[in-house]
Chain A
Amino acid sequence: MKKIMMKGTEAIGEAAIMAGCRNFFGYPITPQNELTEYMARRLPEVGGCFLQAESEVAAVNMIYGAASVGKRAMTSTSSPGFSLMQEGISYIACAQLPAVFVNIVRGGPGLGDIQPSQGDYFQATKGGGHGDYRLIVLAPSTVQEAVTLTELAFELADKYRNPALVLADGLLGQMMEPVEIEEKQVSYDNSSWALTGAKDRPPRKVTSFNIDPYELEKMNLKLQEKYRKMEQEEPRWEEFQTEDADVLLVAYGTVGRICKSVVRMAREAGLKVGLFRPITLYPYPYKPLEELAKHVSLILTVEMSSGQMLEDVKLAALRLTRIEFYGRMAGVVPTPGEIFDHLMHLIGRR
């Protein structure tokens, strides 16, 4: 495919199609409407199915149904809509089905506003719905990376038979950049579990239910085993100018990108500042962050939320170094300048 200009939302949609997704069920909400609209226009062109559900609750259950018969399925929404989907996501996780979710996060809590935010970090990484389950959470910082991570989301969802989430803020969803999207052949063997009709084989069932607590615990243990494996094998992150860094910025998504500019400003001022950008928010890259923390005198975590990822940074680095926080909320995007000023203040230069 030729390089074209795409919004983050559109690029995620096209990447899903290139990864073999042919089923999309969704409900409109700003600032992710371009994704549902893109799928509505594009899926019929490739023989896929787009359905506008009557609500997010309906959409997530359509995903549950499509996934249980072995079809690649995706939905996208924004914060309040993602809250509505939580029950279904918990069911899908327990039933061990692959499915891909996209949350283009906006300002909250409540109805909030339609400006970009990272306020759904806890919801994405620590559960969101009920019960002991985990979502694979991928956080792109550019439109091109949104493409890569959407394809990866399908791959990991299949590999672990677990729902995966692409978590991006509204800015990344709306921003337009040149991208290249290649068709991605992802191997997909669902022959051992998909409900395809029981002719010539014993019937199967897909369920998130067992009335016997010992049996349900067994199901839980199976899930936990998968999560431990993910935690071992799947953490992903980017390091930027960390080799000689004395101060480490930690930020993800759009803020990770903003912090790259802060690193450049700091380097120009002669300061040894680097950036650690988690790409998987679950499983969180604790180990590499812990290693870096041993060699820096200060970690500054920056978010478009009140200090949510900060808790994971502390799990990795508490007592290893000084940890500080800077955040804006409710749809306010911090500028490189204000983060730089805060950093200067922390190290006693202002």
Chain B
Amino acid sequence: MAKNKVFVGLYGSGKTEIAMNFAIKSKVNGMQVTIADVDVTASYFRVREFKDMLEKKGIRVLTPAEQFMRADLPLIDASVMGYLQNPNYLVVLDVGGDEKGSIVLGSLREYLSDADVYFVVNVRRPFCETPEKICGHIERIQRAASIKVNYLINNSNLASQTTVDVVREGEEIVKEVSRMMSIPVAFNVVAEPLDYRGEFETFKIERYLIGKEEPF
């Protein structure tokens, strides 16, 4: 496994949720963890909104400087490059959605030699209903970001209305994508309290952004 972890995918596929959970889990396993918010497309619901929570868990959070954090500007903190090369830190990169968001990886390319790239899929999101469409998205994003996707993640969900059938349906479609693209599936994402065991490993997460019955 590579030192750094990069999460890409379409808008709203669950990259941020999974990246935060991945960082938290890695920290619990005793590693030094940094999560870098390099999302230059989303206007709300980004890692930077959860900075305090993550820092309390001992995770270093890299965001644009405080005074620019809410600016509608594509900013990436310069220290990201340093951490990507620092052998003592596992770096989780939360990338913006679609090829527009992924394009920032081009600028980080020379620091990404030791990184696993995960493509996150929620088949219950628009434009993701068939394996063919998902393959098209992977190809577009690989081209825009000058990267190769190493693993697929099945994050098929309907927030608090997710059932095992939704995860299973996603697993089937992602499996087909895996076959068509020759990219292995890393895991199925299952949020507490749902229990699902499928063909692939289960990655249990807590949802911070969505999935609460009532958001307020």
> Which residues of A are at the interface with B, using a C-beta cutoff of 8 A?
2-7, 10, 14, 30-31, 33-34, 38, 41-42, 113-116, 170-171, 174-178, 257-258, 260-261, 335-336
Contacts and interface: CB of A to CB of B under 8 A. Distances in A.
Contact of B126 (A10, A116, A258): A10
Interface stretch (B52-60, B108-116, B155-163, B195-203): B155-163
23 contacts: A2-B124, A3-B158, A4-B124, A4-B125, A4-B126, A4-B158, A5-B157, A5-B210, A6-B125, A6-B126, A30-B43, A30-B72, A34-B11, A113-B70, A114-B70, A174-B42, A174-B45, A176-B12, A176-B209, A177-B210, A260-B216, A261-B214, A335-B216
A178 B215 contact: no
Given A7-B12, A34-B11, A178 B159 contact: yes
A247 to B, nearest CB: 19
Interface of B: 11-12, 42-45, 70, 72, 122, 124-127, 157-159, 161, 209-210, 214-216
B158 A14 contact: no
Contact of B216 (A14, A176, A336): A336
B72 A41 contact: no
B159 A177 contact: yes
Contacts of B42: 174
A258 B44 CA distance: 18
Nearest to A254: B216
Query: Which 9 A-B pairs give the minimum distances between C-beta atoms?
Result: A178-B158, A31-B43, A174-B44, A258-B216, A4-B124, A261-B216, A178-B161, A30-B43, A30-B72
B126 A38 contact: yes
A4 B10 CA distance: 14
A5 B122 CA distance: 9
A268 B55 CA distance: 34
A257 B216 contact: yes
A10 B125 CA distance: 10
B43 A174 contact: yes
A3 B45 CA distance: 22
Nearest to A11: B126
A261 B127 CA distance: 34
Nearest to B13: A5
A3 B124 CA distance: 7
A336 to B, nearest CB: 6
A115 B70 contact: yes
A10 B13 CA distance: 14
Contacts of B43: 30-31, 33, 114, 170, 174
A314 B42 CA distance: 38
A319 B159 CA distance: 45
Nearest to A337: B216
Contact of B159 (A7, A10, A176, A258): A176
Nearest to A116: B44
